[in-house]
Amino acid sequence: MQLSVWTYEGPPHIGAMRVATGMRDVHYLLHAPQGDTYADLLFTMIERRGKRPPVTYTTFQARDLGKDTAELFQSAARDAVARFKPAAMLVGASCTAELIQDDPAGMAQAMRLDIPVIPLELPSYSRKENWGASETFYQIVRALAVGDSSRPAPCQAGSPRPKANLLGPSALGFRHRDDIVEIAKILAALGVEINVTAPLGASAADIARIGEADFNIVLYPEIADTAARWLERNFRQPFTRTTPIGHGATIDFIHEVAKLAGVDPSPALDIAEARMPWWSRSVDSTYLTGKRVFIFGDATHAIAAARVARDELGFVVCGLGCYNREFARDLRAAAADHGVEPLITDDHLEVEEAIAAAHPELVLGTQMERHIAKRLSIPCAVISAPVHVQDFPARHSPQMGFEGANVLFDSWVHPLVMGLEEHLLTMFRDDFEFHDGAGASHLHGSAPKAVPLPDQATGRGGSEPLGEPATAAAASPPPTPSLAAGQDGELLERTLWTAEAEAELKKIPFFVRGKARRNTERYAEERGLASISLDTLYDAKAHYAR
Partner 1 sequence: MIAAAPPVLDQGCASAPVLRERGQREVFCGLTGIVWLHRKMPDAFFLVVGSRTCAHLLQSAAGVMIFAEPRFATAIIEERDLAGLADANEELDRVVRRLLARRPEIRTLFLVGSCPSEVIKLDLARAAQRLAGAFLPDVRIVNYSGSGIETTFTQGEDACLASLVPFMPEPAAGAEPELLIVGALPDIVEDQLVRLVRDLGITRVSCLPARQSRDLPAVGPNTRFLLAQPFLGDTAQALEDRGAVHLSAPFPFGAEGTTDWLHAAARAFGVDEMHFRATVAPGRERAKRALEHSRAQLEGKSIFFLPDSQLELPLARFLHRELGMVPVEVGTPYLHRAHMAAELAQLPEATVISEGQDVDRQLDRVRAAKPDITVCGLGLANPLEAEGFTTKWAIELVFSPIHGFDQAGDLAELFARPIRRRDVLRV
Task: Tell whether residue 516 is a contact of partner 1 (CB under 8 A).
Answer: no
**Closer of 206 and 222 to partner 1 (Cβ):** 222
> Is residue 67 close enough to count as binding partner 1 by CB under 8 A?
no
Of the candidate residues 18, 27, 31, 128, the single one contacting partner 1 (CB under 8 A): 128
Q: DSSP label at 497?
A: B
* HSE-up (13 A, CA, CB side) for residue 71: 5
Catalytic position from the list 264, 284, 431, 455: 284
Nearest of 364, 402, 359 to residue 382 by alpha carbon: 364
- Tell me the per-residue interface mask from 243 to 282 with partner 1, x by CB under 8 A, - otherwise: ----------------------------------------
Mask for 386-405, x = binds partner 1 (CB under 8 A): --x-----------------
Q: Determine the angle formed by the axes of helices 401-427 and 510-526, rounding to 10 degrees.
A: 80
Closest distance between partner 1 and the C-beta of residue 9, in Å?
Answer: 8
Applying CB under 8 A, does 176 fall inside the site for partner 1? no
Paired strand residues for 119: 91
What size, in residues, is the chain?
546
The answer to whether the annotation marks 419 as part of a ligand binding site is: yes
Question: What is the footprint of partner 1 within residues 21-60 (CB under 8 A)?
Answer: 33-42, 44-45, 48-52, 56-60
Q: Are 419 and 376 in contact (CB under 8 A)?
A: no
Q: Within 78-117, which residues bind partner 1 (CB under 8 A)? A: 79, 83, 94-96, 99-100
- Find the shortest distance in angstroms from Cβ 49 to partner 1: 7
C-alpha distances (whole Å) from 396 to each of 178, 260, 400, 412, 516 are 6, 29, 12, 17, 44
Judged by CB, which is closer to partner 1: 56, or 237? 56
Beta bridge partners of 30: 57, 92
Which CB sits closer to partner 1, 62 or 499? 62
The widest CA-to-CA distance across the chain, in whole angstroms, is 92
Of 120-128, 215-223, 296-304, 425-433, which segment contacts partner 1 by CB under 8 A? 120-128
Residue type, 4: S
Nearer to partner 1, 261 or 354 (CB): 354
Subset of 403-442 contacting partner 1 (CB under 8 A) = none
Smallest gap from residue 21 Cβ to partner 1 (A): 12
* Sheet strands side by side (includes 292-297): 342-344, 316-322, 292-297, 362-365, 380-382
1 scored as a contact of partner 1 (CB under 8 A) = yes
The 349-378 site mask, x for binding partner 1 (CB under 8 A), equals ----------------------x---x---
Distance CA 194, CA 164 (A): 5
Estimate the crossing angle of helix 499-507 against helix 510-526, to 10 degrees.
140
Does 420 count as an annotated binding residue? Answer: yes
Amino acid at 67: K
CB of 328 to partner 1, least distance (A): 18
Minimal distance, residue 325 CB to partner 1, in Å: 14
How would you classify residue 216: left for phi > 0, otherwise alpha for psi between -120 and 50, otherwise beta? beta
From CA 144, how far away is CA 150, in angstroms rounded?
A: 13
Quote the least distance from Cβ 351 to partner 1, whole Å: 13
Residues 6+ positions from 53 with CB-CB distance below 8 Å: 17, 20, 21, 28, 39, 40, 43, 44, 171
Closer residue to partner 1 in complex, CB, 21/280: 21
228 makes contact with partner 1 (CB under 8 A): no
To the query of whether residue 436 is one of the catalytic residues in this protein, the response is: no
**At its nearest, how many Å lie between partner 1 and the CB of residue 268?**
37
| Neighbouring residues of 542: CB distance < 8 A, sequence distance ≥ 6 | none
What CA–CA distance (Å, rounded) separates 509 from 340? 32
Binding residues for substrate: 419-420
Residues that bind partner 1 (CB under 8 A): 1-7, 9-11, 13-14, 33-42, 44-45, 48-52, 56-62, 65, 76, 79, 83, 94-96, 99-100, 123-126, 128, 371, 375, 388
Active site residues: 284
Annotated binding site: 36, 419-420
Binding residues for [4Fe-4S] cluster: 36
